[in-house]
Amino acid sequence: MTSPAIVAVRTQRVRVPLHTPFVTALRRTEFAETVVVTVEDSDGCVGWGEAPQVWRVTGDSLAGSAAALEGPISDVLIGAAADLSSAGLIQGAVVGNRSAKMGADIALHDLVARRAGVSMIEHLESHASQRSGAGIPGEPGIPTTLLTDITLSIGTPTDLAEAAAARARDGFTTLKIKVGTDAAGDAERVLAVREAAPGCVLRLDANTGWRADEAVAVLTTLADQGVELEFVEQPVARRDLEAMAYVRRHQPYQILADESVFDLEDLVDVIRAGAADAVNVKLAKCGGLTPAIELLQVATSHGLGRLVGCMMESHLGIGAAAALVAATGIPGEQDLDAGWWARTSPYEGGIGYDGPRILFPQANGLGIEGVLS
């Protein structure tokens, strides 16, 4: 049966207030700002996606993403088949603009899932299995929840200790500590968190903020203090894989590549350099679900650990990323807390949060039915 054609690509800007400012080595924000995109087919079925603004990581802006979606991406999609054969058109429509590609790619997947009458998890299970030629590991049945860590914004040791204790009371068992703005004080910050939340698993994220020697010094100090860390994320500059490999060799913790891996070429470079033990795949970095599936499969085949993360985006993009985790059977708590920071979800339908638990909607596709006014 011939697929219906795509007849419209529409955009809408959404600004989501956060209940607490989010601060990293790269930026401070009190809002999640995004472009919501819908893709409609000739039967009137609509898929939803989002293109978050990520100035300091990907360089993508609301204006740029809207222009890419309304221009070259819309040009290649309108009239194309409303199925995954059109996913490649999105990736080839424009150079860069990965947030815009993310939005269109998620919307296309959502459209296909809705047309098939299945959840996004079921849809992605089938798609990933077809691409790999193998079954997808995981528990039988469709998951209803997924666990995430929670990020502790950069602050003083006292600030971090108070936040850590509060998040532990909220039920979070894995804390990701933002470091990298002050190497001389970073060890003290981590020690304060360990004391305030002794039962929690700790992760560090320097967001490229350290030099190699600073990273080794901080991490060696923490190891000497008996601090257990699940991993250390992106300790040094994105392109300096030699420095990241040096850090990996000269301290005992696992190194997770984040900003160093946007696309498949980046991942191959990291593997060849021996620069990381694991990779953080984010839809806004790679351009959506389609390239993310390929990155996860290549990482697995080369023995790298996998984590799915997010930018400061809304429940829509988080819902797609969470469904990807559930569909591909990635173990452990993921890094998908961005929606938790929002005062409320800006959508009718979609995922919800209950402390560290992401709650999947019992609906077709992502379950989004509209933007709340």
Tell me the catalytic residues: 178, 282
Query: In this structure, is the dihedral angle defined by the CA atoms of residues 280, 285, 286 and 290, taken in order, positive or negative?
Result: positive
Identity of residue 246: Y
Check if the beta carbon of residue 21 is closer than 8 Å to that of residue 312: no
Closest CA to 255 of 236, 239, 282: 236
**Strand order of the sheet with strand 46-52?**
6-23, 28-41, 46-52
How far apart are alpha carbons 151 and 175 in whole angstroms?
A: 6
Closest CA to 285 of 308, 301, 306, 305: 308
How far apart are alpha carbons 299 and 281 in whole angstroms?
A: 10
Helix (H) or strand (E) holding 62: helix 62-68
Distance, CA of 370 to chain centre: 22
